[in-house]
Structure 1
């Protein structure tokens, strides 16, 4: 058993050592998640079964999907990428990892180990790994600045188009019906539309807002500055700065964070402003609701996958 500093919270990790048939990994069960499941269901046997299935899947999938050469830390420079987390919420974690702060956020570095059948295997680069490979924080920043947009190309899409693709991704509806629905969805004028900013994998995509060029292109298209709403560590939402006030948007972000976003995925309760003329991104609010670990009301967990 060990304390583990995960994004936005400290949890109890149960490490499984010397698992027969498992090479190059140490599976971890997070006891907090199991207990929360038990609190909701009261079914101990089901929770134990869920833990066993998680372990079994982790062992089988890691061995089958991750090649040994992917775990070669000497290749870290080619595989490191950006992710964003909340700085104040993660002070303990930041003491253990190379990072740099950006407004109320922190840029941290992850190691892209490989892709699995239902997502990606990544590891947070800690001080020990950076020291082992001889990288300074600036080395990691420069490498990640190049790698992130190549490994995870930035994706900017109208929210309505984004929703339409989710609805019709595997749809068997007629082409005519689909086109009619899309026309209705896309009737909102650009200056009143919401835009999702993420990456093509939709994994740690909030870091895409660190790239200024896509923000500038969107601002030019809309014809105004942008407010950036941090919907999760995986994506942010952009709206015209002529549409609503930053404090009103921040109130909405806070409510959605507390009601709908799992604590592991929350990024910030603040709102940012992109100035298209100065080409800068800065905080637009200073809300008193800075803490991300308020009562978690009905959030749906989307656990992060990590290879160790």
Structure 2
């Protein structure tokens, strides 16, 4: 089956399986150097978007002759669609830091906890790869049905999140060089050029060590939700 026809059949089968609450489409993204097709599922009830690369799905179809209908069922299962809405797998609860104003305005029926000018939002990890995660936002109704509290979610997430997304701590110099390697156009920014001059001035001895403030970048492996690492218990200390 040609790729264009396969995409249409996969979307049609998946849409029929999961119903009108979800909107299924194929979108091109530029997350990588080349444009790639992703099958995207938008949950209009919980305002959650899930996606998966189309290329490996089509490869399974062509190499193993798996019909689009069967692959659509597998996608539905992998995203956890149709499972008990009140089921919270405690070992897969994690948190993210998000914009407080956006959370209060856009998210409905979800538990969250304020942190400075941000919001701690809780999720269930459905599937995780090296560079992406498929997750489901926890709602107040799920919380009630599971007889859990926000305090319970914080305790679970404090335990689970550092294991799911181990932190990384690197000197600013290393992080800056990686960023510039991926986006050389940043060199046009005067502030970036000044920072580089200071950085290399210290390295070659033009700036005394005592006059240079060391800076570090705290993130997570894979750079997934890196800001969340500041919540990890005792880590900043």
Using structure 2 for the length normalisation, give the TM-score.
0.54
Aligned-pair CA distance for 1:211: 2.5
What secondary structure does 1:192 align onto? coil
SS of the equivalent of 1:214 reads coil
* Aligned pair partner of 2:172 in 159, 172, 176: 159
1:293 maps to what in 2?
none
Which residue of the partner structure matches residue 192 of structure 1? 213
Which runs of no fewer than 5 residues in structure 1 stay unpaired? Answer: 1-17, 35-49, 170-182, 217-308
Separation in 1, partners of 2:26, 2:150: 29
Indicate whether 1:85 and 2:98 are aligned.
yes
- Whether contact under 8 Å (2:88, 2:146) holds in the other structure is no
Is 1:139–2:137 an aligned residue pair? Answer: no
For the pair 1:123 / 2:136, whether they are aligned, the reply is yes
Tell me by how many angstroms 1:168 deviates.
7.5
Distance in 2 between residues matched to 1:186 and 1:69, nearest whole Å: 50
Deviation at 1:125, TM superposition (A): 1.5
Q: 1:117 and 1:70 mapped to 2: Cα distance?
A: 17
Q: Could you tell me which residue of structure 1 aligns to residue 195 of structure 2?
A: none
Q: 8 Å contact 2:26–2:38 — kept in the other structure?
A: no
Q: Distance in 2 between matches of 1:122 and 1:154?
A: 19
When Rg is computed on C-alpha atoms for both structures, the one with the higher figure is 2
Matched residue SS, 2:89: helix
- CA offsets, 1:247-267, max 9 Å, x none? xxxxxxxxxxxxxxxxxxxxx
Shift of 1:86: 2.1
Shift of residue 186, structure 1, vs aligned partner:
7.8
User: Using the alignment, how far apart are the partners of 1:92 and 1:136 within structure 2?
Assistant: 22
- 2 CA distance for matches of 1:30 and 1:91? 29
Could you tell me which residue of structure 2 aligns to residue 102 of structure 1?
115
> Aligned in 2, Cα 1:150/1:19: closer, same or farther, shift over 3 Å?
same
Aligned match of 1:211:
232
What's the offset of the Cα at 1:206? 0.8
Tell me the TM-score normalized by structure 1: 0.43
Is 75-84 or 109-118 further displaced after alignment? 109-118
| Residue equivalent to 1:20 | 13
Report if aligned partners of 1:109, 1:124 keep a CA contact under 8 Å in 2.
yes
Q: Is the alpha carbon distance of 1:55 and 1:150 closer, same or farther for their aligned partners in structure 2, counting shifts above 3 Å?
A: closer
Residue correspondence of structure 1 range 227-242 to structure 2 within 5 A: none
How many pairs align?
Answer: 170
